[in-house]
Chains A and B, each alone.
Chain A
Amino acid sequence: MPRTLFEKIWDAHVVRKPEDQPTLLYIDLHLVHEVTSPQAFEGLRVANRRVRRPDLTVATVDHNVPTTDRSLPIADPIGAKQINTLRQNCHDFGIQLFDIDSAEQGIVHVIGPELGLTQPGMTIVCGDSHTSTHGAFGTLAFGIGTSEVEHVLATQCLPQNKPRTMLIDVCSALPEGVTAKDLALGIIGRIGTDGATGHVIEYAGDAVRELSMEGRMTLCNMSIEAGARAGMIAPDETTFAYLQGRRFAPQGAAWTEAQDYWKALQSDNDATFDRKVELNASALEPHVTWGTSPGMVVPVTGCVPDPAAAKSDADRRASERALEYMALTPRTRIQDIHVDRVFIGSCTNARIEDLRAAARIVKGYQTNRSVNAMVVPGSQAVKRAAESEGLDRIFRDSGFEWREAGCSMCLGMNADILQPGERCASTSNRNFEGRQGRGGRTHLVSPMMAAAAAITGHFTDVREWKFK
C-alpha cells in the first residue's frame, strides 16, 4: 500500500501497537533545555528511575540565558538556578550538555541540525513546540510537555495516537524578496492558526524544493503556528549536502549507507493525504502580521483589516481586541506603521542565511534614529560564521546591537524584552499579547523585512529596496 513520508517514518518506529491503545513509538533523539526539563528529572528521582538512553539525549541552555557578555555571572538568580539545575541533571544522568560557555551552544533547534544530530528518517522530540523545525530534514519531530519529557527520559518511547496527514503543495517559485517566512505566514493566513490541528504537514512542490535547508527549517518551524503536530519535507540532495561532514552525521561507508536509506524517504506517488492545500508561490508577497495571532497577517502592500468585515462574530471581537492591544486603527496602510524596536533572531530566523539576507539590506545604511535594533545569532557557530564573513561589522556599523546566542526576545525570558507600548518588527514566530514583554506589540516578518524596517523606521516593501 502506498505510504506518505510521515507514514514510513511512523511505521519504522512502532515498538508496539496494542489493541485499543496508542502506539508505542520509539524516539531516536531527545533534545533537552533548561526550562521544560527540571520537573521531569525531579520526577525520575522521585520514582527512582534512570535515563534509559543518555546517548540519545542532548541538552543545551537557550531559553533564559543572557545574550550579553558571557564572562559575567548571570544576574537573575532564578534563571541561574534553572541553568545550574540542568547542569546538575546532565551530570547526574550522564547527558551531553552544550553549556553556556560551549562553542556549540545555541538555540536547541539551531544546534541540532548544525551538529548533524538531526538526520532524515528520525523521530525527534523536545519539550518545546518549535521542535517541528527538524522536520525540514525529513524527520518526524514534534514538541512535547514536561510529563512526556520525563516519559522519554525514562523509556525512550512515547505512547502516541497517529495524527492525520496534510499535504501543502506549493507550486512555482518564490519571487525575489519573498522568503520561506513569508510562505509560512501566507499559509497560516490562509488555513488559520488551528488549520492543521491534529495533522502532520508535508510541504512539497517546486517552491519547497527550491528552498535552502535554512528556508525549509523556517517553514517547518512555523508549522506549530498553524496548529500542526509536525511539519516535514522529504530529504533530497539539498539535505544531504547540508548534512555531509557535520560532527554527528554518519561518515565514510556509513554515510553512503545512510544516504541510500534516506533516499527512500519520499511519499509514494499515489499515497493519500487526509487533506490537501495548494498554493502558488509566485503570487506571494512579503507578509507582516498586524494582530496578536500569527494568522492575523496581510501582505506588506495591504492595510490593517476592518473588524467589521470579519467572517464571524467571534472573529470580529478577536480582531477588535487585537487592534486595541496593538494600538492600530482599521485600514491603516501596513507601510505607514512605525516601529520602535527590531529583533532579528529566534529558532525561526537566526541562521546564517537569515543574517546574510538581513545584512544585505542593512549594508551602507544607518538604522533609523527612533529604532533600537538587535541581532541575536541562533548559535555560537552561526555567530562565528557571521563574524568570519564580516556580517557583524555591517550590523554594528549601521547601529544594530550584536549579541550572544539564545532565544532572547522571541519569548523574553531573559532581560531582552519590549517595554510596554513598544512596537517591534520581529523575525520570531509568535505575536501573542505580551510574548516579547508585557504591553509589547509584535509584528512578525522575514529577516529582510525586519532589517528594512530598522533602516526606514516603518514597514517597507523589500522588493523595492535599493541595495548599496
Chain B
Amino acid sequence: MTPFRTHNGTVAPLDRANVDTDQIIPKQFLKRIERTGFGEFLFYDWRFLPSGEPDSSFVLNERRYRGASILVAGKNFGCGSSREHAPWALADYGFCAVIAPSFADIFANNCMKNGLLPVTLGEEEVAAVIENARTIDNYELTVDLERRTVTDGRGFSASFAIDDFQRHCLMEGLDDIGLTLLCEADITAYERTRCELIG
C-alpha cells in the first residue's frame, strides 16, 4: 500500500447525504476480477446520461473540478454494500481523501486498506469546506495525517480523529496481513484451545 502522510489537492464538493456504494460504483461494473481500472466507472449513473454522454450538471463533470483529489460530501458516506470496488474506484479516479461528517463502517475500513483517507469533520466544518469548494476557484486543502489536520492556508483549519493504529498503518503503508502472519504462534495456540473448548 502507498503510504499516506500528507496530501494537498483541489476539492470537489458532492453535497449529498447517504451516498451509497451502489452510487459510487454501480453493480454492472462488479463483474471484473481485477482491482484496477474502476475509476472510469466512478459515480457512473450520475456522471453519464443513459446515452453515455457526460451529464454536464453533475459536479465532477464541471471543468473546474477536473483533477480534484479531495472529495467532500454529506453524512453517512459509503453506506450500503461492502464492495471494496467503491474505494478502488475513488482512488483510481484520482481521489486521495474523502471528507464527510460520518462514514459507514465497512466503507471507512475498506478505504484504509487502500491508502484512501476518510476524514471525519464536524457538520459545520464540512459545510464550510463545501461552500469554499463551490465559491473559490481551485480551492485547495492540505490533509496532514501526522498532525490530523485539514487546512486551506486561508484561515480554515480543522482537526480530525483517527484510530492510532490505522493511522500508523496508513503512514507507513503497512501490509496488515503480513503483521497478522507474524502472530502465527498466537493463532496456533488459540486454535488448540478453541478445539478443546468446542470439541
Does chain B have a CB within 8 A of A263? no
Closest Cβ neighbor of B87 among chain A residues: A145
Chain A nearest Cβ from B146, distance in angstroms: 17
Q: Tell me if A439 counts as interface (CB < 8 A to partner B).
A: yes
Contact across chains for A39 and B35 when beta carbons are under 8 A apart? yes
| A20/B164 contact (C-beta < 8 A), A39-B35, A194-B104, A413-B30 known | yes
| A22, closest chain B residue (CB) | B165
B23 and A432: CB pair below 8 A? yes
Instruction: Using A129-B80, A314-B17, A318-B16 as known contacts, say yes or no to A261 and B186 having CB atoms under 8 A apart.
Output: no
Question: Size of chain A's interface in residues, with CB distance under 8 A?
Answer: 72
Q: List chain B residues, Cβ under 8 A from A150.
A: 177
Minimum CB distance partner of B83 in chain A = A36
- A–B Cβ pairs within 8 angstroms, 14 of them: A12-B197, A42-B34, A42-B35, A49-B177, A82-B31, A145-B87, A145-B109, A148-B113, A150-B177, A157-B183, A227-B105, A257-B199, A438-B45, A438-B50
Interface Cβ pair total, 8 Å cutoff: 174
Residue A435 CB within 8 A of the other chain? yes
Contact A145 B110 (CB under 8 A): yes
**Prevailing SS type, chain A contact patch:** loop
* Residues A145 and B164 in contact, CB atoms below 8 Å apart: no
Query: Which residues on the A side are within 8 Å of B32 (C-beta)?
Result: 78, 82
Per-position binary interface string of chain A over residues 429-445, scored 1 when its CB falls under 8 Å from any chain B CB and 0 otherwise: 01011110011000000
> Is residue A457 contacting chain B, with contact meaning CB distance below 8 A?
no
A residues bordering B, Cβ < 8 Å? 12, 15-16, 20-22, 24, 26, 35-36, 38-39, 42, 47, 49, 52, 63-64, 76, 78-79, 81-82, 85, 121, 127-129, 143-148, 150-151, 154-157, 159, 161, 163, 193-194, 197-198, 224, 227, 229, 250, 254, 257-258, 261, 293, 314-315, 317-318, 321, 411-413, 420, 430, 432-435, 438-439
Q: Which one of B71-79, B90-98, B134-142, B153-161 contacts A?
A: B71-79
Select B84's contact among A63, A147, A257, A412, beta carbons within 8 Å.
A147
* Chain A residue at smallest Cβ distance from B86: A145
Q: Which residues of chain B have C-beta atoms less than 8 A from A321's C-beta?
A: 16
**A129 contacts B81, CB within 8 Å?**
yes
